[in-house]
Each structure stands twice: as structure tokens, then as C-alpha cells.
Amino acid sequence: MESLMAYVVGILFAAAIYMMLRRSIVKLVIGLMILSNAANLLIFVVSGMTRGAPPLLPEGADAPLGIVADPLPQALILTAIVIAFGVLAFAVVLIRRAYEVVGTDDLDQMKDTDT
């Protein structure tokens, strides 16, 4: 399972970078979305996958009885998803504004500020 997920993470990163290298700003933002998902999935995979063992203590016990899932990576991913959501919402508004102001979605036409 873990090696399969590792391939999925790799494919997601590759797809994200491919999309970011396209000229259209819409594809750029789609690339950013995939990229943040790839990073989240990476955290999930490297911190060890456990099936069906929630980190809950039975009543009266001080320590879990068997192997349980590590709750921390899930908390990290949840935080990262919320942040990525906020940032991507901004990015979508930005490309819309940029399209209105510049009149094109082609990154090659947006070189005025480059040097």
C-alpha cells in the first residue's frame, strides 16, 4: 500500500509541475492546487500508514493497547489543507483580476515587470 501511495505522490508532483510550466494562468493555479495536495499526501505516507486503528484509549487504560494511528500527521494535514484553501482562494481571485486587467491568460504576455 505504501509503495503504491509513494507512486501516487510522485505522479501528483510531476503533474503539478507540468501544469505550472504551461503558459495559461488557469493551468498554473490548477498546478498549485495539485502541488499542495501532493505535499499533504506525502506527509500522510511518510509518517506511516495504519489501517483501522483510531488513537483512542479504552476506558480506564493509560496507554493504547495495540498499534494505533499517529494523530499528529492528520492534524498537520488538516492545518495545511485549511491554509492551502485560503491561499488558493486568493490565487483564483488574483488570476481573475489579472485576466481583467491584462486582457489575456497567457503568461508570455505578462512580462512587463520582468527584467
Partner 1 sequence: MNLELALPILIPLISGAVSVALWRSVRYQRILAVVATALLLAASVWLLRSTVDQGFLVMEMGSWPAPFSIVFVSDILSAIMIVLTGIIGLAIAIYSLASTPSGHEKFGYYPLMHLLLAGVSGSFLTGDIFNLFVWFEVMLLASFALLTLGGERAQMEGAIKYVTLNLFSSAIFLSAVGLLYGTVGTLNMADIAQKVASLEDAGMVTVVSMMFMVSFGIKAAAFPLFFWLPASYHTPQVAVSALFAGLLTKVGVYALYRVFTLIFTQDVEYTHTILLWAAALTMLTGVLGAAAQFEFRRILSFHIVSQIGYMILGLALFTPLAIIGGVFYIMHHIIVKTNLFLVSGITYRLLGSYELQDLGGVYKERPMLALLFLIPALSLAGIPPLSGFFAKFVVIRAGLEAEAYVITGIALLVGLLTLYSMIKIWAEVFWKETPEHTKSLSLLKGDMKKSHAWAYYVPVVGLAACTLYIGLNGQPIYELAEMAADQLMNPELYIEAVLGGAQQ
Where along the sequence are the contacts to partner 1 (CB under 8 A)?
20, 25, 28, 32, 35-36, 38-40, 42-43, 46-48, 72-73, 76, 79-80, 83, 86-87, 90-91, 94-95, 97-98, 101-102, 107, 110-115
Q: How far is CA 41 from CA 24, 45, 68, 79, 81, in A?
A: 26, 6, 19, 13, 11
CB of 86 to partner 1, least distance (A): 6
C-alpha cell belonging to residue 64: 493504547
CB of 8 to partner 1, least distance (A): 14
Q: Angle at which helices 71-102 and 25-46 pack, to 10 degrees?
A: 170
Q: Which is closer to partner 1, CB of 53 or CB of 104? A: 104
